[in-house]
């Protein structure tokens, strides 16, 4: 059985999609969701889906081994950042080399880095009159959005698209591709 731990900061639509995708599979299971936001909607989603979920603070994540020890006890085969907004600490990355991945709502290296998340990305895409955007699934390293790219998918951006239109198109790509890419990674 392959074990997944998901980190999320917000509503948790990607986390829910992954949980549901793997829910009735014998080979892979989402065993836990961790969040830095005690009010995140992902906690409600996990409760409904009967998946263990915990929140933690910055001290537990970056200054102590509290979160690291939770991960060691969970023995994940893959750690997935799905809308997780904090930079991942090096001491955790060193314990789980090539086992931490992230999904980013743009075609990296464009529109990546500190502060480039959610609607900030889509607003920048529209402001710069891009004709396409998409998603990037990549390994996490010590820098924001700079890890090796695993997968990208694109969608068209028309001149009449608002940032909300772009967000909806990108969200569709996330829902379609993220679970399949995770499944493929875990089957290697």
Catalytic residue numbers? 104
Largest CA distance in the chain: 49
Cα separation, 177 vs 74, whole angstroms: 25
**Rg of the chain, C-alpha, whole Å:** 16
* DSSP states of 78-91: EEEESS--SPPPHH
Half-sphere exposure of 50 (CA within 13 A, CB side): 2
């Amino acid at each position: 059985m392959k074990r997944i731990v998901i980190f999320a900061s917000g509503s948790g639509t990607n986390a829910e999609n992954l949980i549901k995708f793997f829910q009735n599979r014998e080979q892979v299971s989402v065993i836990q969701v961790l969040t830095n936001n005690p009010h995140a909607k992902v906690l409600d989603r996990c409760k409904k889906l009967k998946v263990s979920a915990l929140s933690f603070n910055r001290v537990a994540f970056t200054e102590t081994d509290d979160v690291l020890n939770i991960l060691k006890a969970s023995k994940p085969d893959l750690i997935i950042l799905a809308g997780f907004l904090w930079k991942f600490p090096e001491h955790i990355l060193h314990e789980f080399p090539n086992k931490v991945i992230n999904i980013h709502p743009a075609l990296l290296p464009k529109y990546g880095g500190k502060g480039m998340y959610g609607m900030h990305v889509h607003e920048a895409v529209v402001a710069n009159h891009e004709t396409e955007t998409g998603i990037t699934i990549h390994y996490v390293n010590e820098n924001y959005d700079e890890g090796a790219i695993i997968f990208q998918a694109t969608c068209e951006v028309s001149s009449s698209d608002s940032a909300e239109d772009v967000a909806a198109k990108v969200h569709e790509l996330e829902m379609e591709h993220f679970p399949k890419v995770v499944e493929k990674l875990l089957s290697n």
